[in-house]
Amino acid sequence: MRPSQSQRQPHQGVFQDWLANPRNPKIQLTLLAFRCVQRIARAKQPLRLLGIPVLVAYRIVFEWILGIELHWNLEIGPRLRIYHGTGLVVTPDSRLGSDCILRHTTTLGLRGLTETGSSGAPILGDRVEVGAHVVILGPVRVGDGAIIGAGSVVTKDVAAGSIVAGNPACAIGRVGRDGQAVASVDS
C-alpha cells in the first residue's frame, strides 16, 4: 500500500521532483519552492503567520514573473516533470498523480462556477503525459498512463492507457505495457 501524500517524508517530494527535472534549474527551483510553500500553508498557526512573506514572494516570483501557477493547496504526487513551464495554470482544486508530465501553456481548470461553488476540477492519475497547449476543463478524470496530445481540449474523461488528441479530444490510440503506442483507433 502506497503512503498518502501527507504520510510521506516531508522532503521526499522535493528531492523526487528535483531529480525528475534534470538540467532544468528553473523548474527544479519552482518545484522546490512549491513544496516549501505547501508546507508553510499547511503548518499550524504561528508558523503559517511567519511564512506569509514567503507565500507572497512565491506568488510574485513564480506566478506573476515566471507564469507558472501551481497554488500551494494543489495536491501533486511525487516526481512531477515540467517542460518549459511558462503559461502553466493548474487550478488549486485539481489533483495530479505521481510521475506526471506537464508542458508549457497548459491549463487544468474549472469549467466555471455554479451556485453551489466549483464545477469540479481535473484529476490526473499516475504517469499521465500532457502535451503543450492542452486545456483540460471541469471534473475530468484522466486515467493512469494516458497521453494527451498537444493542442487538445479535454472536457470528458480519458480512459487509462488511452492516447487522445484534438478539439474536442477523442481517442486515437492506446499505450502498450512498454509505454509505446500499440494501436490506432482507425485500424
Domains in the chain, ordered, with CATH? Answer: 7-175 (2.160.10.10)
Cell of 66: 515566471
Q: What is the pTM of this model?
A: 0.85
Dist. CA 144–CA 59, nearest whole Å: 30
Handedness of CA 100, 132, 166, 108 (dihedral sign): positive
Is the preceding peptide bond at 3 cis, omega within 30 degrees of 0?
no
pLDDT by residue, tens only, the chain of 187 residues? 444 444 444 446 567 788 899 999 999 999 999 999 998 999 998 888 899 999 999 999 999 999 999 999 999 999 999 999 999 999 999 999 999 999 999 999 998 776 666 678 999 999 999 999 999 999 999 999 999 999 999 999 999 999 999 999 999 999 877 767 665 655 4
